[in-house]
Amino acid sequence: MRILSTSIATAVWVLLSSQESFGFSVRPTISHRMTTASIGSGTHGSTRLWASSPGNNDDDSRRDFLTRSLATAALASGGWFTGTGVGYVADPPAAAWALTGVKKVNAKLAGYGLPLVSNVPDGLTPLLEIYGKGVNRFPVLVQFNYPVTWVVTTPSNNVNGEDGTVQAGEYNKGDTATFFLYSEPGNIKDVTTQSKEFFEKALMRSIGQKGDNMYQNFKVTKLEPTVKDGKPYMIADFKYQLLTGAGFEVDRKGVASITSQGDAVEVLWAASTAIRYKKTEETLRNIVASFRCYADGLNFSDELVGSAASRGLDG
């Protein structure tokens, strides 16, 4: 793990600590309007920065100054700005290109004729992304709120297919929210009628995306059915032990929202370390409570990889 030089670390720290007095905040995000440099590079893409200030426009000079300064400091040292403090990550997450922000998300939802986002808790912002743009998956529209300080990642796509998932997290603290599409059961008209064993299997598949040997002692501790916008969802509390590559066992707790749209079961699970759970529980519950998933009756053709629109053709 590389470390910032003293002078650059000091410069970035000063900039970060001064953001409150400037009256605006810095967070890692994605934006097609970004004109500042990407921070970092490599096989996992890049993470970009912007600064946002409620009530100010995108040309706000203070925002531009801080964004450029942070980018310059990180680029000068050949590193990454993680968004949760000054430092480096050896394996940075891929850059995200999902829609974020209430206005942009609601504009897209309105175009699909779907319910709009409302009553977003303080400190959170909505995310809207199509999972399944590649030829190897069927498309599902994924929506949930996440903390503005978290880093967002989305699947990587090319004409050969799609890899990865939709995720947001404060990775250096172990707080994450991850989407998982469980295709084996197919469509289930009312997912809330399923057994506890069904949800245990769905969640274990979700957590074990990188292998079943990554966790142990998984247990669903509570199930609560609910209806969101006329669709059934099951809220599930769970806990497990994460097995690290260094041989440590990390107790983790989380909550998930499970539904079935299109030809699969969809899961959004959010978790943190058991030690942090008392502090993070409210946020994690707000995240999964905001989860919506749409598939049937929507036309995603212009946004799929390999479509005529994505290739710049007329149709």
Tens-digit pLDDT profile for residues 101-133? 999 999 999 999 999 999 999 999 999 999 999
Q: Indicate the residue among 17, 44, 76 that finishes a domain.
A: 76
**Structure confidence by residue, pLDDT tens digits, 204-254:** 999 987 666 789 999 999 999 999 999 999 999 999 999 988 888 999 999
Are 212 and 279 found together in one domain?
A: yes
Distance CA 78, CA 68 (A): 15
**Structure confidence by residue, pLDDT tens digits, 63-92:** 344 434 443 333 333 333 333 333 333 344
CA distances to 52, 100, 103 from 145, in Å: 17, 9, 13
Are 143 and 268 found together in one domain?
A: yes
Whether residue 104 lies inside any domain: the answer is yes
Span of 6-20, 50-64, 76-90, 154-168 with lowest mean pLDDT: 76-90
Whether residue 85 lies inside any domain: the answer is no
Q: How far is CA 304 from the centre of its chain?
A: 20
Whether residue 66 lies inside any domain: the answer is yes
Are 71 and 181 found together in one domain?
A: no
> Running DSSP on this structure, what letter comes out for residue 39?
B
Are 215 and 247 found together in one domain?
A: yes
Are 127 and 63 found together in one domain?
A: no
Are 68 and 205 found together in one domain?
A: no
Task: Please give the residue range of the domain that contains residue 61.
Answer: 6-76
Region 149-168: what's the mean pLDDT? 92
Are 107 and 155 found together in one domain?
A: yes
Q: Which two tokens stand for residue 139?
A: 């498309």
Domain count within the chain? 2
Q: Indicate the residue among 42, 76, 110 that finishes a domain.
A: 76
Q: Indicate the residue among 18, 43, 76 that finishes a domain.
A: 76
Q: Helix, strand or coil for residue 249?
A: strand
- Nearest CA to 126 out of 144, 106, 153, 152 is that of 144
Are 116 and 232 found together in one domain?
A: yes
H/E element, 15: helix 6-17
Q: What sign has the CA pseudo-torsion 296, 301, 304, 307? A: positive
Q: Is the pLDDT of residue 54 over 90?
A: no
**Structure confidence by residue, pLDDT tens digits, 169-209:** 999 999 999 999 999 999 999 999 999 999 999 999 999 87
Highest mean pLDDT among 22-31, 48-57, 146-155, 212-221: 146-155
Whether residue 257 lies inside any domain: the answer is yes
Q: What is the pTM of this model?
A: 0.69
Whether residue 306 lies inside any domain: the answer is no
Are 160 and 287 found together in one domain?
A: yes
Are 26 and 170 found together in one domain?
A: no
Distance CA 283, CA 179 (A): 16
Cα atoms in the 13 Å half-sphere on the side-chain side of 245 = 2
